[in-house]
């Protein structure tokens, strides 16, 4: 398998996805948008992973790469490419498919429980995944569910946490890929926010000391195994 990665931010790398790929001896190629890398010309990859970033998807004057990337993603969806889009990646994909990205009234930072929509449990990419899991979040923007997509995840803080398109595309607002080392490096260099009383924004100590990293790794590995199985099958449109 060949995995193509779109990385928007040096503080948000592949994390557990890279571990899974290495353990399976898969090829990983990365376009680092923050360094000015172009989008891949060679599209002979099996899976595209579009990572998160601290940029704002709808501020296209400040981040003009979003427009080109959205057009490219739209084309890949039509070509039935398998895609995993995370955080900023999920927002750009929503825009590519006619959805919107808007600002929430609050930030959601730290470990928060997300829930699977019951009707989504038979989706090929969600097989064997828990219907309820606590995973890392870091966002204040959220996507709308595009018309051709199906909502699969939600929580009380942000109603739209994930969606699928066809049988081979999943977009999520949360970060199942993040590792303990990745969290520490991110928090060391990212802006520190004041914790909120309603615990939508957790303290740095709460985030680093959380015991849910293993759950995130298990979720991510099972998800990637599901992608591997789906890629071997013809894709439904």
Q: Report pLDDT digits (tens) over 138-149.
A: 888 999 999 999
Q: Does residue 187 sit within a domain?
A: yes
**What pLDDT does residue 42 have?**
87
Q: Report pLDDT digits (tens) over 17-36.
A: 999 999 999 999 999 999 99
Residue 197 has pLDDT above 90, yes or no: no
**What pLDDT does residue 232 have?**
87
Q: Does residue 143 sit within a domain?
A: yes
Chain Cα centroid distance, residue 69: 15
Q: Does residue 102 sit within a domain?
A: yes
**What pLDDT does residue 36 have?**
96
Residue 62's domain spans which residues?
Answer: 2-231
3-state secondary structure of 143: strand
**What pLDDT does residue 106 have?**
86
CATH number (domain holding residue 121) = 3.40.50.880
Q: Does residue 162 sit within a domain?
A: yes
Radius of gyration (C-alpha) of the chain in whole angstroms: 16
Contact by Cβ (8 Å): 112, 137: yes
pLDDT band at 190 (very low <50, low <70, confident <90, very high): low
CA distance 141 to 107: 8
Average pLDDT of the segment spanning 115-128:
95
Which percentage of the chain shows pLDDT scores above 70? 92
**What pLDDT does residue 233 have?**
74
3-state secondary structure of 39: coil
CA distance 123 to 166: 9
CA distance 125 to 167: 7
Residue 193 has pLDDT above 90, yes or no: no
**What pLDDT does residue 235 have?**
55
pLDDT band at 195 (very low <50, low <70, confident <90, very high): low
3-state secondary structure of 58: coil
Q: Does residue 237 sit within a domain?
A: no
Average pLDDT of the segment spanning 87-110:
94
Domain count, the chain: 1
Q: Does residue 29 sit within a domain?
A: yes
Sequence-separated contacts (24+) of 16-21 with Cβ below 8 Å: 16/176, 16/177, 16/178, 16/179, 16/216, 16/217, 16/220, 16/221, 17/49, 17/84, 17/177, 17/220, 17/224, 19/179, 19/217, 20/220, 20/221, 20/224, 21/224
Q: Does residue 222 sit within a domain?
A: yes
Q: Report pLDDT digits (tens) over 222-235.
A: 999 999 999 987 65
Residue 200 has pLDDT above 90, yes or no: no
Q: Does residue 236 sit within a domain?
A: no
**Which phi and psi (to 5°) does residue 87 adopt?**
55, -115
Chain Cα centroid distance, residue 35: 20
């Amino acid at each position: 398998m060949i995995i193509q990665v779109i990385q928007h931010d040096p503080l948000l790398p592949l994390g557990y996805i890279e571990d899974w790929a290495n353990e399976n001896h898969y090829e990983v190629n990365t376009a680092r948008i923050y360094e000015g890398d172009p989008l891949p010309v060679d599209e002979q990859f099996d899976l595209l992973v579009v990572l998160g970033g601290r940029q704002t998807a709808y501020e296209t004057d400040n981040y003009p790469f979003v427009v080109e990337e959205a057009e490219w993603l739209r084309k890949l969806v039509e070509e039935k490419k398998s895609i995993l889009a995370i955080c900023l990646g999920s927002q750009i994909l929503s825009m590519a498919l006619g959805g919107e990205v808007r600002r929430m009234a609050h930030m959601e930072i730290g470990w928060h429980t997300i829930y699977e929509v019951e009707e989504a449990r038979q989706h090929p990419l969600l097989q064997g995944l828990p219907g309820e899991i606590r995973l890392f979040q870091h966002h204040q923007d959220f996507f709308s569910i595009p018309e051709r997509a199906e909502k699969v995840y939600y929580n009380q803080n942000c109603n739209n946490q994930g969606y699928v398109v066809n049988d081979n595309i999943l977009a999520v607002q949360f970060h199942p890929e993040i590792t303990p080392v990745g969290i520490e490096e991110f928090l060391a260099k990212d802006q520190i926010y004041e914790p909120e009383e309603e615990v939508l924004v957790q303290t740095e100590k709460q985030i680093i000391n959380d015991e849910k990293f293993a759950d995130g790794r298990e979720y991510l590995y099972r998800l990637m195994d599901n992608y591997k199985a789906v890629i071997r099958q013809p894709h439904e449109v």
